């Protein structure tokens, strides 16, 4: 899942996480409706699955920073192919576990067969 969240301020960011079953990638840049912006200019909190097999979008209310671990919060997820496509295509750059991935042509990297770490060859 690629996630957009507030990562500014003094708190320590959680960062992209891989290898524990489900991979979570920090979104760096978004392009939507002809506008492009950095995650540093966005306070929204959402995630989009990287697999078309589960076209899920989640919207939440807690930042992915260690200081947030003590807070309650929640998220709601929906499986909707049209909404998923819109969110997935809006992600133009995200941090993989070892490498930053830049996307092109409104496509995002396809997870490999075992959904392991993305590599530079996963550019889209």
pLDDT in tens, 92-111: 999 887 644 555 544 444 33
Question: Which pLDDT does position 84 carry in this prediction?
Answer: 98
Catalytic center residues:
43
> Is the pTM here over 0.75, yes or no?
no
| Domain spans of the chain, in order of start | 2-113
Burial class (CB in 10 A: 0-12, 13-18, 19+), 94: buried
Q: Which residues does the chain have with pLDDT short of 70? A: 66, 98-124
Q: Report the C-alpha gap between 119 and 99 in whole angstroms.
A: 7
H-type helices in 5-114, by residue range? 81-90
Determine phi and psi for 9, rounding to 5 degrees: 100, -175
What are the DSSP E strand ranges found in 10-69?
Answer: 25-32, 35-38, 46-48, 56-60
């Amino acid at each position: 899942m690629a996630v957009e969240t507030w990562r500014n301020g003094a708190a320590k960011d959680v960062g992209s996480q891989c290898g524990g079953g489900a991979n979570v990638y920090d979104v760096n840049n978004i392009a939507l409706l002809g506008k492009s912006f950095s995650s540093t200019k966005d306070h929204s909190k959402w995630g989009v699955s990287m697999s078309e097999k589960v076209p899920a979008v989640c919207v939440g209310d807690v930042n992915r920073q260690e200081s947030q671990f003590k807070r309650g919060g929640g998220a709601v997820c929906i499986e909707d192919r049209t909404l998923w496509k819109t969110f997935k295509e809006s992600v133009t750059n995200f941090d993989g576990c070892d490498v930053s991935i830049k996307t092109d042509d409104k496509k995002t990297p396809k997870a490999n067969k075992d959904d392991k770490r993305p590599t530079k060859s996963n550019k889209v």
